[in-house]
C-alpha cells in the first residue's frame, strides 16, 4: 500500500511540474525588418496576425540583432554569447568550431536537458548543421519555390539569380513556410506528457522574394511607395562605412542595377507580399494554438534574425550597421507577461536569459551576455540601462539606445545619429564637437574583447 501511495505521489508531482512549466512556441523569421504594421516601418504593409500578437504581450519596438547576417545572429541568440566574444562573425563559422562555444549548451538543448519535449522545423540554426542531439524531433524542410530562379527569374534585373523577386505560379501548399506552419499546427493539438519547446523557422522574406500571386494583388507597381531616401545621404559617411556596405556592389542586387532596370517598386512590392504571406503562416500556427489545450500555458516568442535594406543609403539586403539591418520585430506573449509596447533598446541575445527565467531553467555552462527581459515583461517602461550592441566583422560595432545610434569601425571611423530628430539616420553627427561627450560615453561601452575569427567549416 505504501509503495502504491509513493508511486501515486511521484506521478502526481511529475504531472503538477509539467502543468506548472509553460510551453514555448518559438517563431524565427528570416530577414524580416520593421516593415510590419505594429512597427510602422512601411505604410502599405498589412500584418494583422503579427499586429494582433503584439497586442497580446510586449512588443519590443526598439529590438536589435547582434549581427546583421544570419549565422552569427542565430549563434548569438541560441548560445547567449556575443559575436565579439565567440569570434563567430560570418556565415561559414558553425558554433561548435568556436573554441569558446565548444562546451556551450544551446537554447533548445537546455530545454531538452530540463524536461521539455523539444521539436522544430525549418531554419533555426544556419547552414548544414542541424545539431540533432539538441532535439527530440527536428527536420529542415525543402522549399519548392527555390526552383523558379534556377529555371527562369521573374524580375528583369540582370543576372539576378537567387536574389530574384516577384509572384510565381506555385501552389501555396508547396511553399515550405506554409508546410512548416501546418506541421506546427498539428503538433499543437498533441499532448506530449510534458511541456514542449516548439521552434518553427519561417524562411521568407529571405531571398528569393517569391510569394503566391494573391499576396501581390494589393501591391500593383504604380501604387507602391518607396522607402524614404535622400539623394546626398552618403556624403557624410566615413570610408569604412562605405566599404562595409560594398558586399552587394559586386552582386546583381545592387542599387544601380535595380534602378536602371526599373525594378525598385517591384522589389518593394515583393518584400511586402512576402511579409504578408509570412503573416498568414504565423496565423496558421496561432489559430491552432488558440484552439488547443495549450492556449493558456504557452509563451509565444516571435523574432527575426536581422533586418533588410531596400535602397536606403543605396544599400540592398543586410550586412550594414544601420537601422535597416539591425532593427527587428521581437514580441513575447503568454502567461506572466503584461500587454504593452516597450521603447527600451534590447537585443536578441536577451532571449536566452529571459526564457530561462520564464521557464525556470538553470544557467548553462557558458556565461550569458544578454540581460533577462523580465522587468520589461512586467512593466514595458521599466528602467533599462543597457544599450543594444550589434557587431559586423571583428571590431566593427554599433550601439543603439532609445535616442542614439553610435557606430565605430575597426579603423576608428565613427557615425552618430540622433533618433529624436533623425529616425532615417541621414545626418552623421560624429564630427560635430557638440557631441563629444556623447561619443566619449559610447566609446566606453564598446566590447573589451574582440575575438579572432572562429574556424570555418
**Cβ-contact 348, 70 below 8 angstroms:** no
**Cβ-contact 18, 8 below 8 angstroms:** no
**224-259 exposure pattern, b = at least 16 Cβ within 10 A, e = fewer:** beebeeeeebeeebbebbeebbebbeeebbbbebbe
Return the residue matching grid coordinates 525556470.
Answer: 360
Candidate list 38, 42, 64, 70, residue with the active-site label:
70
Instruction: Give the phi and the psi of residue 239 in degrees, each rounded to 5.
Output: -55, -40
Cis peptide before 208 (omega within 30 of 0): yes
CA–CA separation, 389 and 85 (whole Å): 12
CA–CA separation, 73 and 325 (whole Å): 12
CA–CA separation, 312 and 318 (whole Å): 11
Catalytic (active site) residue 11: no
Catalytic (active site) residue 65: no
CA–CA separation, 241 and 246 (whole Å): 9
Return the residue matching grid coordinates 544601380.
Answer: 256
CB atoms inside a 10 Å sphere around CB 129: 13
Candidate list 64, 126, 306, 315, residue with the active-site label:
126
DSSP assignment letter at 228: P
Closest by Cα among 369, 342, 345, 372 to 359: 372
Q: Which residues contact residue 201 at a Cβ distance below 8 angstroms, ignoring those fewer than 6 apart?
A: 28, 29, 30, 120, 121, 122, 123, 124, 180
**Cβ-contact 427, 417 below 8 angstroms:** yes
Q: Any idea which residues carry the catalytic annotation?
A: 70, 126
Amino acid at each position: 500500500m505504501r509503495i502504491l501511495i509513493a508511486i501515486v505521489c511521484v506521478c502526481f508531482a511529475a504531472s503538477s511540474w509539467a502543468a506548472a512549466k509553460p510551453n514555448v512556441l518559438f517563431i524565427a523569421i528570416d530577414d524580416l525588418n520593421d516593415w510590419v504594421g505594429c512597427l510602422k516601418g512601411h505604410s502599405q504593409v498589412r500584418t494583422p496576425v503579427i499586429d494582433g500578437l503584439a497586442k497580446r504581450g510586449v512588443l519590443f519596438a526598439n529590438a536589435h540583432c547582434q549581427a546583421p547576417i544570419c549565422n552569427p545572429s542565430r549563434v548569438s541568440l541560441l548560445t547567449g554569447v556575443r559575436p565579439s566574444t565567440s569570434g563567430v562573425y560570418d556565415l561559414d563559422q558553425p558554433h561548435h568550431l568556436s573554441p569558446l562555444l565548444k562546451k556551450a549548451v544551446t537554447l533548445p538543448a537546455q530545454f531538452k536537458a530540463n524536461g521539455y519535449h523539444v521539436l522544430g522545423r525549418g531554419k533555426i540554426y544556419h547552414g548544414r548543421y542541424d545539431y540533432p542531439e539538441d532535439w527530440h524531433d527536428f527536420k529542415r524542410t525543402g522549399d519548392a519555390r527555390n526552383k523558379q530562379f534556377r529555371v527562369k527569374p521573374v524580375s528583369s534585373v540582370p543576372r539576378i539569380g537567387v536574389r530574384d523577386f516577384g509572384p510565381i505560379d506555385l501552389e501555396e501548399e508547396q511553399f515550405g513556410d506554409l508546410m512548416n506552419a501546418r506541421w506546427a499546427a498539428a503538433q499543437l493539438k498533441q499532448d506530449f506528457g510534458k511541456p514542449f519547446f516548439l521552434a518553427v523557422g519561417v524562411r521568407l522574406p529571405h531571398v528569393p522574394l517569391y510569394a503566391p500571386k494573391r499576396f501581390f494583388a494589393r501591391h500593383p507597381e504604380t501604387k507602391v511607395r518607396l522607402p524614404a531616401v535622400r539623394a546626398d545621404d552618403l556624403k557624410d559617411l566615413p570610408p569604412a562605412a562605405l566599404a562595409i556596405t560594398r558586399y552587394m556592389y559586386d552582386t546583381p542586387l545592387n542599387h544601380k542595377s535595380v534602378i536602371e532596370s526599373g525594378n525598385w517598386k517591384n522589389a518593394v512590392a515583393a518584400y511586402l507580399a512576402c511579409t504578408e504571406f509570412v503573416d498568414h503562416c504565423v496565423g496558421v500556427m496561432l489559430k491552432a494554438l488558440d484552439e488547443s489545450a495549450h492556449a493558456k500555458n504557452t509563451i509565444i516568442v516571435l523574432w527575426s534574425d536581422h533586418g533588410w535594406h531596400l535602397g536606403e543609403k543605396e544599400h540592398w539586403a543586410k550586412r550594414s550597421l544601420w537601422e535597416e539591418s539591425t532593427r527587428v520585430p521581437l514580441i513575447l506573449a503568454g502567461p506572466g507577461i503584461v500587454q504593452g509596447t516597450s521603447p527600451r533598446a534590447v537585443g536578441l541575445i536577451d532571449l536566452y536569459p529571459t526564457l530561462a527565467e520564464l521557464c525556470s531553467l538553470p544557467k548553462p555552462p557558458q556565461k550569458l551576455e544578454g540581460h533577462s527581459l523580465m522587468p520589461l515583461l512586467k512593466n514595458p517602461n521599466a528602467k533599462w540601462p543597457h544599450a543594444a550592441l550589434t557587431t559586423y566583422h571583428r571590431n566593427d560595432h554599433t550601439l543603439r539606445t532609445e535616442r542614439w545610434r553610435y557606430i565605430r569601425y575597426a579603423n576608428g571611423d565613427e557615425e552618430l545619429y540622433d533618433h529624436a530628430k533623425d529616425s532615417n539616420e541621414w545626418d552623421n553627427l560624429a564630427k560635430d564637437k557638440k557631441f563629444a561627450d556623447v561619443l566619449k560615453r559610447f566609446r566606453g561601452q564598446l566590447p573589451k574583447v574582440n575575438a579572432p575569427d572562429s574556424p570555418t567549416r
